[in-house]
Amino acid sequence: MTLIGMLHHREDPRKVAKAYTYSVVAKAEGVEFFYFTPGKVDIENQKIKGKYYENGVWLDKEYPFPDAIYNASYPLSENAERIVDYLSERIPFTSHSIGDKLGVHNRIMKGKDFKQYLIPTVKLTNSKEILELINLYPKVIMKPVSGHQGVGILFIEKLDDGHFKINELGKTLIYKKQELLNKVLHKIQEQDYIAQKFISSQMKSGNVYDFRLHVQKNRKGKWVITTIYPRIGPLGSITSNLSGGGYTAYLDEFLQKEFHIDWFNMKRLLEHFSLSFPNHFESLYDGIAFDELGIDVGIDENQKLWLFEVNWRPGAPVIFNRELDVAINTIHYATYLATHNKDFHSKKSLRENK
């Protein structure tokens, strides 16, 4: 029986909501599953003190090293990182980092096939660069290179009188040129930022929106669509993140309302992008395989698709009850990795013994 371990930094699996879901799915799929933390790994004896779910409680049990590991979180200490590195060199992990926003942008640009979907982007090394970009595009957006959930984003618009309107966290203020430069300088001294042309992806109501394309690998190691859904920001917001007060809707109904007779073509465009982009994107990472991506795209007033962001740990969409679908795909893919790894080592052993 295939043995899969779920690696997380929290000691208590009861505090990790999805641990239960993955345990139940694994049992239904005939896979042995346990939960563990880096501190429970005995490298010397190649054992792990893990926990398994049975009759409503998590019970302790010692396990051999698993056939595959679903690495569900980051290590939080140097020792934990050392242990995770040791395991990842010997056991297939499901998840791998794609890097920060700028690195992702540069890879796609270099890959060429999807560069037409990229938004014009610069890394800000000094405050005056923002003025150069605003001269090209009257509306720009600043994002932290390593940011997430819309934190730290600034929307900047140049006004006819030479002033600048800045929207940050839904609050709008008017700045003079020097005030803008001081603001930008303060931001880029705190952390790395990129600036982009602002792409207007707005509903008829004026709300900003984007689409989350959630894709995963299946039991055959092939990309499949888990779900596609719109994320709609509240009026006045510059982002559509659900964590920032945004909301969602059913895809077909949303497309029919916003695109009328073109709605089905837009749906096909989103579905085609969902499956074609991950295959190309993965090819840009020299042999690294990804298990799951959250791809955020927008549609402008000319119905052109733009790539906003790629996320490697998008998490299960809390709406539409798709958590179970995400867990099923993850267990299937982990099983695929485990089987593939066994086949690889078996063939390697045969070659070495010839």
pLDDT, tens only, 103-145: 999 999 999 999 999 999 999 999 889 999 999 998 999 999 8
Residue 78 lies in a domain: yes
Give 217 or 147, the one with higher predicted confidence.
217
Q: What 3-state class would DSSP assign to 54?
A: strand
Are residues 152 and 218 part of one domain? no
State whether 80 and 213 are in the same domain: no
Task: Say yes or no: 40 and 111 in one domain.
Answer: no
Q: What is the DSSP letter of 208?
A: B
User: Is residue 264 one of the residues assigned to a domain?
Assistant: yes
**29 & 157 share domain:** no
DSSP states along 305-339: EEEEEEES-----TTTT-HHHHHHHHHHHHHHHHH
Pair (233, 151) in one structural domain: no
Residue 34 token pair:
């346990």
Give the per-residue pLDDT at 121. 92
* CATH number reported for the structural domain that contains residue 214 in this entry: 3.30.470.20
Look at 89-103, 193-207, 270-284, 314-328 and tell me which has the smallest mean pLDDT.
Answer: 314-328
Contact (CB, 8 A) for 25 and 328: yes
The H or E element spanning position 144 is strand 139-144
> Residue 216's domain spans which residues?
101-117+202-312
69 and 172 in a common domain: no
Q: Are residues 227 and 302 in the same domain?
A: yes
- Residue 329 in any domain: the answer is no
Residue-wise pLDDT tens digits, 223-281: 999 999 999 988 877 777 666 677 888 999 999 999 999 999 999 999 999 999 999 99
Residue 248 lies in a domain: yes
**Partners of 314 in the beta sheet?**
none
Q: Is there a single domain that holds both residue 293 and residue 255?
A: yes
Do 109 and 248 lie in a common domain? yes
- 347, part of any domain: no
- Give the span between the Cα atoms of 296 and 285, in whole angstroms: 20
Element (H or E) spanning 209, and its range? strand 209-217
Compute the residue count for the chain: 354
3-class secondary structure, 234: coil
CA Rg value for the chain: 23
Backbone angles phi, psi at 268, to 5 degrees: -65, -35
Q: Which of 180, 197, 214 is the last residue of a domain?
A: 197
Cα–Cα distance, 236 to 218 (Å, whole number): 39
> Does residue 128 lie in a domain region?
yes
Residue 351 lies in a domain: no
Distance CA 29, CA 107 (A): 37
pLDDT score for 349 = 38
CA distance 209 to 237: 10
- Whole-number pLDDT of residue 168: 85
**Residue of 7, 20, 11 lying closest to 316 (CA atoms):** 20
Tell me the whole-structure pTM to 2 decimals: 0.89
Q: How many domains does the chain have?
A: 3
What does DSSP say about strands 193-197 and 171-175: parallel, antiparallel, or unpaired? unpaired
Domain for residue 252, yes or no?
yes
Residues 56 and 132 in one domain: no
